[in-house]
Amino acid sequence: MNSVLGIQNAAHYWQEVVHPNILEYKKYKSPRVAFNLATSLWHLQEWVVVQMNPNSDSNHLKAAKAKFRDQLIEECPSLGILHDITTVNKHAIVSKPLGVVVSTSFETREVHFSFLGNQPVTEHGSDFSVTLADGTVKNLDQIFSEAIRYWDKNLGRLLSKQNRET
């Protein structure tokens, strides 16, 4: 696995990218921070699959990613919701939903105002909720907590499984 911006592997990504995003979200819940945390929690699975399948060609890796993704969403449906939020962040729409998000809502709690050079910048600290296709409404904090608990519990096991197989 090649280093990218100094990140060496999935555990390093968890420590250097996901953990700081968790800390920032706990301090300030803006759309930017929520998107960053959702994206890092979802994309951790990419790092895990690549690490678990060293030296695989792109066809094998694609199949391994699909299989692992399906397993993840079965074990932690909140990761499917984060997939959908991450996809909207990148593409503005979700053509292949995995978490069946119907809508999101927010309640603004605070506004931060600053400048980037001479341009004003605002960020709105909010409480977020997600409505799923079955009508369930979940607080985004709960979704994040479930995904974080999943990775806390399983990341080491998944990576040690890979180390035993190689």
* Residue pLDDT, tens place only, 71-130: 999 999 999 999 999 988 776 767 776 778 888 999 999 999 999 999 999 999 999 999
Q: Where are the domains of the chain?
A: 10-92+141-165
Q: For the CA atoms of the chain, what is the radius of gyration?
A: 17
pLDDT digits (tens, 9 = 90+) for 2-26: 788 889 999 999 999 999 999 999 9
> Where would I find the H helices in 17-134?
19-27, 31-52, 58-75, 77-91
Predicted structure pTM score: 0.89
Burial of 114 (0-12, 13-18, 19+ CB in 10 A): exposed
> How many C-beta atoms surround the C-beta of residue 57 within 10 A?
8
